[in-house]
Structure 1
């Protein structure tokens, strides 16, 4: 009787069981699936809106997708650090202002200071400037961490004060003056035709990425077998490898299908004595340098969070701070290090942002804290602490930037854009609350 009732209950139960078995075998995070679905809906929505109201769909074009990847890089880098901060039940409202002061100090350093000693256009200017910016960001982050960990001031108050203090300091450094242009080599970090790795470089990086995915899956399988953990079916491993490789190859194809503007091609051809053929000369951008930086940061932060003692301590503190301290974890030192790491990542984002703008302004990074926190929460990091993923935050950054870019393309007012971003943040926190209730 039982068997008959299960069969007659309809194909829905059988299908649901198959989907659950598939998700369990592949260990795909259902929240990430939902984010991918939301991202596709956002992309298709803006594309259809553009076709209906503007007569052309400008969103799903090689040019816009390439620009979207570059625009996302700065927020994505900071979002990886915000994951660790929120996991440990803290918050950082100052990242945008710290980015602003760091970018301004880097601008002063490379435009006003270093040329006096090294000479204009010296090849070491960009190297010293980047190191200086990373040091400034790290020191500011460590200072916040000391106030929070050792003086027991709530992170909300410390970073809210930092938001105001560092924004004012960014203006004070040059009295509101825009510092431009930055060093030519430094500007390449921001992307653009010369700040990309080109056609063959992109395919080489894509090949390395595909090989790395296969090696990571194989290494993970060996580790599971070594410690007696359940193994994924072979077909699930193959499926995950194929999907990952398809995404990498697709990204490489899109990057290579966006060509240099005609004017820059003519300048390049004239400078290198190249004759432009009858049909024109197509030179691929390929992956932009800031995108590669963001990808490297994602890999490094994922390794740090999941494969090191530091990462285990972070999630232990987020799960239960009191128990973590009783277990011998120096929670104060860890808190200081986490905020110092956040400052280091802000230094990277400041480098990307100012290089992309080819200048440093006191308004750089304004409202970035909103986008970073929203990207982190949308990516599945719980405000209750103890839960979050680096790749989820990266995907959340893509979602946030897609919303912003799409609204700009279709002509939404800036006021509407801010309203939408604020609404998305509230909805994301609401969904996280529902998820936490179901888990409990």
Structure 2
């Protein structure tokens, strides 16, 4: 009897250990959102068979690109304990700048792109300076920026829509990579993931840390590889991988590395987790705060280039409410509005959830107000879940 009970306990411990090895280090909210995403896709796939077609999924990923780019920058801002309400207006203003430089001034595409990126970085830098060094709350600074930048856009464009006809700029938001390129990207991504897993395993063994069983690592590699291959095959089944998605992937990799593997990233999490402790430990809070707003402005200008290219024009309404979608994507993906917690991957999952809801409800022909109702409800639920988890942690 006692032996049977011990065997059951050992089996339970083994099962728990395996589960922890697979999922223990990941944010539970992220897995919840992945499950929700799967349910959303299955539901819309049943209600409208066109939802899961390669063409619609390709359009869905292209649609999510602007929100994803903004959310990547927004993660760092929120993790540091701030908020940026101006990103949508920066998208509109820098998109207008791009159109003016290209259409009205006839400048080469490279000058247009560099000028647009510089404008976004400067706008973010100015706001960051006001927040960091003049101690004006980020909510007020960026709320003012949201109105000022939108007003400037209306003034410089004279409230007109400015077309963009340059073929290079048009390609950035509408072109597709050749199908062979997608296969090469998939092979490189899988190879890098396997190399990273092996390197991490050897490093933990070298320094005497606990290492997951080889079988668990093999399962992780197999699952990730299957997802990469499936994505590429679905995209290739239509026209290939859209340009905007490559931008999203590249920026996600860069900012994932920046936030998790660099001193700068660790300092941002430290500032958001406990600002006073971060100050006492010698972190230059003013400089780091200014930099995160600069990066947010820079990413907003990249999103502006993609959006302007997709629309083939700059309008005074471009980027309207984009800041809310970016914030919602971050929060739904597990970023805490209290600061100190959040990931780039989670923000991308949140952006995909938001875009999937928009896309699915549009295919079903639902009134646009339902999109606001559903997304707003999910946002409130995500914040409530975050607060509940934090309270449990305190107890």
Which is worse superposed, 163-172 or 135-144?
163-172
Where in structure 2 are there 5+ consecutive unaligned residues? none
- The partner residue of 2:96 within 104, 112, 129 is 104
Whether 2:249 is the aligned partner of 1:295: answer: yes
Residues 20, 7 of structure 1: alpha-carbon distance in 2 compared, 3 angstrom cutoff: closer
Q: Deviations over 1:97-156 (max 9, x none)?
A: 1110010011101111134xxxxxxxxx22111111111111111111011111111111
* 1:341-395: CA deviation from partner (whole Å, max 9, x where unpaired): 1111111111111111111111111111111001001111111111111111111
Change (3 A) 1:228 1:126: farther
Q: Which residue of 1 aligns with 2:43?
A: 45
Question: What corresponds to 2:18 in structure 1?
Answer: 22
Q: Confirm or deny: 8 A CA contact 1:107 1:182 kept in the other structure.
A: no
Q: How far did 1:73 drift? A: 1.1
Aligned match for 2:117, one of 116, 130, 134: 134
Off by >4 Å, runs of 4+ in structure 1? 1-8, 13-19
TM-score (norm 2): 0.95
2:296 matched to 1:316? no
| Alignment partner of 1:417 out of 358, 364, 371 | 371
Q: Which moved more, 1:30-39 or 1:312-321?
A: 30-39
Partner of 1:252: 232
C-alpha contact 2:87 2:323 (8 A) present in aligned 1 = yes
Root mean square deviation of aligned Cα: 1.8
How many angstroms does 1:173 deviate by?
1.5
Task: Mark the CA change 1:14 to 1:412 in structure 2 (over 3 Å): closer, same or farther.
Answer: farther
Which residues of 2 match residues 210-221 of structure 1 at below 5 A?
210-221=190-201
C-alpha change, 1:439 and 1:6, in structure 2 (3 Å) is: farther
Instruction: Determine the C-alpha separation between the residues in 1 that align with 2:363 and 2:346.
Output: 25
5 Å-filtered alignment, 1:2-17, equals none
CA-to-aligned-CA distance 1:212-235 (integer Å, 9 cap, x gap): 111111222233234333222211
Per-residue deviation, 1:429: 0.5
Name the larger-Rg structure. Answer: 1
Question: 1:362: which partner in 2?
Answer: 316
What does residue 78 of structure 2 align with? 86
Distance in 2, matches of 1:187 and 1:23, equals 47
Correspondent of 1:347 among 290, 301, 307: 301
Corresponding residue for residue 65 of structure 1: 57
Of residues 139, 147, 155 in structure 2, which corresponds to 1:164? 147
Counterparts of 2:353 and 2:13, CA distance in 1: 30
For the pair 1:75 / 2:75, whether they are aligned, the reply is no
Query: Residues 210 and 432 of structure 1: is their aligned pair in 2 closer, same or farther, counting only changes over 3 Å?
Result: same
Structure-1 separation of matches of 2:101 and 2:316: 15
Assess if the C-alpha contact under 8 Å between 1:68 and 1:401 holds in 2.
Answer: yes
3-state DSSP class of the match of 1:252? Answer: helix
**CA 1:222–1:175 in structure 2 vs 1: closer, same or farther (change >3 Å)?**
same
Distance 1:328 1:212, change over 3 A: same
For 2:11 and 2:338, how far apart are their aligned partners in 1? 34
Structure 1 residues 19 and 107: alpha-carbon distance in aligned structure 2, compared to 1, 3 A threshold? farther
Give distance in 1, aligned partners of 2:71 and 2:200. Answer: 26
| CA shift in 2, pair 1:188/1:16, >3 Å | farther
